[in-house]
Structure formats: structure tokens, C-alpha cells
Amino acid sequence: MSILKISMACWMVAKESATRRKVAAAKKHRVPTVTGGGPFEVAVAQGHLPAYLDLCADIGVTRIECGEGFTEMNLKAADVIRMATSRGLDVQFELGKKHDGAFTDDGVTQLIEQGQRWLDAGALQLVVEARESAKEVGLFDDSGNLNRAYADRFAKTFGFHTVVFEAPNKPSQFALLNHFGREVHLCNVRLEEILRVEIYRRGLHSDAFSHDNLRPVAPKPARRSTESLEWRMPLYAE
């Protein structure tokens, strides 16, 4: 896990002490935290962005997610990032609308241009929208099938260290891993699903083993030791 997302606005309606304990626990294990993009959009729409950023900084999260998933923002990327970084907060930007259906050719072009503007302004990563269903939204059609060509456009433009794909359920997780292999970064994976995703990513799942880009390489003999196994299964193919 590279970052823990405190999704949606759950942390804003939970007890403050519970939210602080969650953030503190993540920090103890050296796991960065990021807030979901919904509260950011509400704060911007209602003219309360400074107060929202103050709140995020106060509870100790590492990063905020920005976006225009269900609102239109009249602020420049550079201004938002300046306000966030002045409070010690990093920024990631979400690409795509929540209610506009699956992406189109022109839409992907516009999103790539938008994403580049945010990166140029100082955003660390881009997130591709998939909501909770991964159906009829973003890269997924009304049956939940992944549009590989559109996914490739994001990956080739930004690279796997910069673009992250929302994968909220098993079909979307497996589809992205099957297509891209183990290097792809997924987000919005529920905590209880992390082990399944990592088993699949490492080619140790029955459905993953048939994919050359996921199947683990043959193990190499390790030096004999009374404290270790003679043969070790690599976690990732080199």
C-alpha cells in the first residue's frame, strides 16, 4: 500500500477523535494519507476552500485530492496547489466526471490536457475516475468492460508512477492488472480486498497465472541458511 485514502466524506461525519486515530495509525506505519475529492469540491463550490485546507492540515493528512467530478471549479490549478502546499499538503487531481458516462475520444484528449496542467502546476499524481461501480463511467462501459485503448492513452502519456486508476471492485481490478501487468497503480481498493489484489498482482491467483505479464518467474536458489528457506518465491518478476 503506497497511500491510504480516507474516502468520500466519511471522516467529516465520524467522530474527530476516530479520524485522528486513523491518520495517526497510518503515520505510525509510515503510510501517507489522502482525503477523497468530494469534500474538496463542496468546499470550493461554497467558497470555503481555505477552511477546508486548514482542517486537512490540522488532522494531519499528507495529501488532498482535487477534482471537478460533480462541480465546475473557477480556480486555477496553480492557486489551489499554492494554497495547499503552504499548509504542508500535497495534491493529486482526479480526471473525469461522475455523471457523464464513459469517456469519449475527445473527452480523453481534454482530460490529458487538463491533467498536464495540474502536473505542471505541481500536482504529484493523477487519478482516473471510476466511482464505486466501474460501470458506465470513465474507462468502463455499461457492462463494466475496460476500454483498453483509452487506458493506454493515459498510461503512455503520464506513466505508471504518475497516473493511478480507480479500481473499486474485483472486475475492474483484474481487468487493469490483466491489461497492464503488475506495474499499474490502483486506487480505491478497499482494505479487505488488498490481499486479493496483491495475490493477483504477483501472479499467485489461478486467473492471473495464465497472463504472461503477471506470472512470477521461476525461483532462484538461495544460499543455504538455518534461518531461511533454500528456495524463495519472488514477489515480483524482474
Mean pLDDT taken over the chain:
93
Share of the chain above pLDDT 70, in %: 91
Task: Identify the CA nearest to 125 among candidates 64, 71, 173.
Answer: 64
Per-residue pLDDT band for 237 (boundaries 50, 70, 90) equals: very low
C-alpha cell at 70: 460533480
Q: Which residues contact 190 (CB under 8 A, 6 or more apart)?
A: 168
Per-residue pLDDT band for 87 (boundaries 50, 70, 90) equals: very high
**Cα torsion at 74, 153, 164, 35 (round to 10°)?**
10
- Where are the chain's structural domains? 4-232
pLDDT at position 221, please? 65
Task: Identify the CA nearest to 186 among candidates 119, 91, 178.
Answer: 178
Please, are residues 182 and 212 in contact by the beta-carbon 8 Å criterion? no
Of residues 90 and 232, more confidence is placed in 90
Instruction: Please say if the pLDDT value at position 54 is more than 90.
Output: yes
Task: Please report, in angstroms and rounded to a whole number, the separation of the first and last CA atoms in the chain.
Answer: 20
Strands 163-166 and 90-95: unpaired
Q: Does domain 4-232 have CATH number 3.40.630.30?
A: no
DSSP assigned state of 63:
E
Per-residue pLDDT band for 224 (boundaries 50, 70, 90) equals: low
pLDDT in tens, 143-182: 999 999 999 999 999 999 999 999 999 999 999 999 999 9
